[in-house]
Structure 1
Amino acid sequence: MAVLEPLVTDSQRVVVVSPHLDDGVLSLGASIVTWSRAGASVELLTVLGCDPDSDAPAGGWDRRGGFATEGESARARREEDGRACALLGATPVWLPFGSVDYERHGDDEDVRRAVADALHGADLVLVPGYPLTHPDHDWLVRRLVSGFESDTKLALYAEQPYTRRTDAAPEVPEWLAEATAAGAFEVAHTRLRDRLAKWRAIQAYRSQLPLLGMRRSLRRGVHRYALGPEWIARAPD
């Protein structure tokens, strides 16, 4: 199993692009702490953060989480995300675009423009790269991969909890490898204390843990995601 050499040094600005309000922490929480401890400025950019002012009825996922409207869910989940980021030393950035259960609140160009503005000047950007089975993740990555600034380093990350639910090791999809020239996934180097920080941060997503089966499951419990490997595939500089 190849172990990734350090990606980040001090004074760098790193942005982890998270489709929803938990994907980035579930997937890269320990790495985020590692980079923050190294002196980097780390931002967690959630693109499909939904509209906190919306009174649209909650979609199926949010209804199961106990929310009545899109706005109620967005406000509560942003609070959870903020607590998680504070534990990891990251800054949360939320965009108001809707997930698959809601109106998008903008067209493809609106999304691309808003993300480009949020990423401007970043030294390293990480986006989902495997398995992209969630429709929102696939939709977002396909609209972003061609629009990064030429001097920005790009990397892909294996998404959790989806990667752990597959039997195979993560592999960059062919179309994404062609678009980004990313290499193979490697395990990010993180320390135990950083994985423990991730464990605490995941627990901040109180509304999501029961929906993800993490409250009572030994196989899919919080510890499995916090202590397991984090996978990153680098694109050439």
Structure 2
Amino acid sequence: MRAEAHTSRHKQAIRHAPPRHAACNSLLRRETGEQALHRWSKLSTMTSALATPRSERGTPPTDRASRIRYEPAALFCQDLMSETSPRLFIVSPHFDDAVFGCGALLASHPDAAVCTVFAAPPEQDMQTEWDGKAGFASAYESMRARTIEDNHALAVLETIPVRLPFRDAQYHDSPSVSKLAATLEETIYGSTANTLLMPLGLFHDDHCLVFEACCEILPRMSHLEWFAYEEAIYRQIPGLVQQRLVDLAERGIVATPASPSTDHAPDHERQTLLKREAVCAYESQLRAFGPHGYDDVFASERYWRLTVDRQHRHRH
């Protein structure tokens, strides 16, 4: 009976999925009902693991290496990544940033992890200008809908969602750089990733905050391969990318144009189709950006390999 109810809920979820943007309909890939149900079942298992109350996970041990699995985001990473062994870990400020900036890359790396930093609603409900543009009457309504949109987008790309308990700047409760850096570092340690992608930190306060936190932990985790991705839409602002590259150099971090490697030849047509379908899942955000405000998300993705200049750090 329980299994039947579980299956029924997923069928309803698929049936009531949010409508896709009209411009995307002709480019969507075809899949059977069984395939869609499988993706939703997999996603539900991941989400329920993250939602398990702390009281049901036992008493955290005192040593750091063991304690990591009791933290919500780290629990999610360790329990699920050990099963699927993703190697790519993408830090996404908001629900849509990783897909907008790295969707084609994700399409060729199934079971990569996308870590959304600002995934929590505000403590008190409120109304904001951006949520209003996206079609929402309140922050709570917005976060519920955006989480569902993100579930759809990441399921299209067969990507594992990891969500941190921080709040968007528009909700007036941003974490400190040090607190965010500590949480990110512990979450990454709990994963099996060997390649990290961080935002270049363009324009938006939340993006800049995530950039600062990543720059803080990069030297301590330089045994991993690091890349920065140019955030779609914001990278169009003249001079912004160049300013950030100068900033990285001043921090002793060398940025070289490069893309993360893949173990097979990419199917560019498939990558394009899957990214477009995933992007179209974020219907509320496309509405907020306006009819042509998000065209840049379909342009070529750009990445920078990041390495620590040890001589620079020694001099300073």
TM-score by shorter chain over 0.5: yes
Q: Does 1:46 align with 2:116?
A: yes
SS at the partner of 2:170?
coil
Secondary structure of 1:125's match? strand
Bigger proportion of residues as strand? 1
2:225 is the counterpart of 1:156: no
Return the offset for 1:169: 9.6
Residue-by-residue CA offset, 1:181-232 (whole Å, 9 max, x unaligned): 233334677612101100000000011111112xx33xx455x523x21001
Give the TM-score taking structure 1 as reference length. 0.80
AA paired with 1:229?
S
Instruction: Report the number of matched residues.
Output: 215
Instruction: Establish whether residue 191 from structure 1 lines up as the match of residue 263 from structure 2.
Output: no
The residue identity in structure 1 corresponding to 2:98 is G
Partner of residue 210, structure 2: 140
Cross-structure match for 2:150: 81
Q: Distance in 2 between matches of 1:34 and 1:62?
A: 32
Q: Cα 1:133–1:169, aligned 2, differ >3 Å: closer, same or farther?
A: closer
State the partner residue of 1:181: 253
1:95 paired residue among 151, 154, 164: 164
Deviations 1:129-161 (CA, angstroms, capped at 9, x unpaired): 16x111211122112212132322111011111
How far off is 1:236 after superposition? 3.3
Where does the alignment leave 5 or more consecutive residues of structure 1 unmatched?
1-9
Pairing partner for 2:279 from 202, 205, 211: 202
Per the alignment, residue 5 of structure 1 pairs with: none
Query: Relative contact order (C-alpha < 8 Å, sep 6+): which is higher?
Result: 1
Q: Which has the larger radius of gyration?
A: 2
Equivalent in the alignment of 1:13: 87
Higher helix fraction (1 or 2): 2
- If the length of structure 2 is used for normalisation, what is the TM-score? 0.61
User: Which residue, out of 5, 11, 26, partners 2:100?
Assistant: 26
Aligned partner letter, 2:303:
I
Residue from 108, 111, 124 that aligns with 2:177: 108
* RMSD across aligned positions (CA): 2.6
Deviation per CA, 1:14-56: give whole Å up to 9, x if none.
11111111011000100011122xxxx31111101232x7432
User: Structure 2 vs 1, CA of residues 196 and 80 (structure 1 numbering), >3 Å: closer, same or farther?
Assistant: same
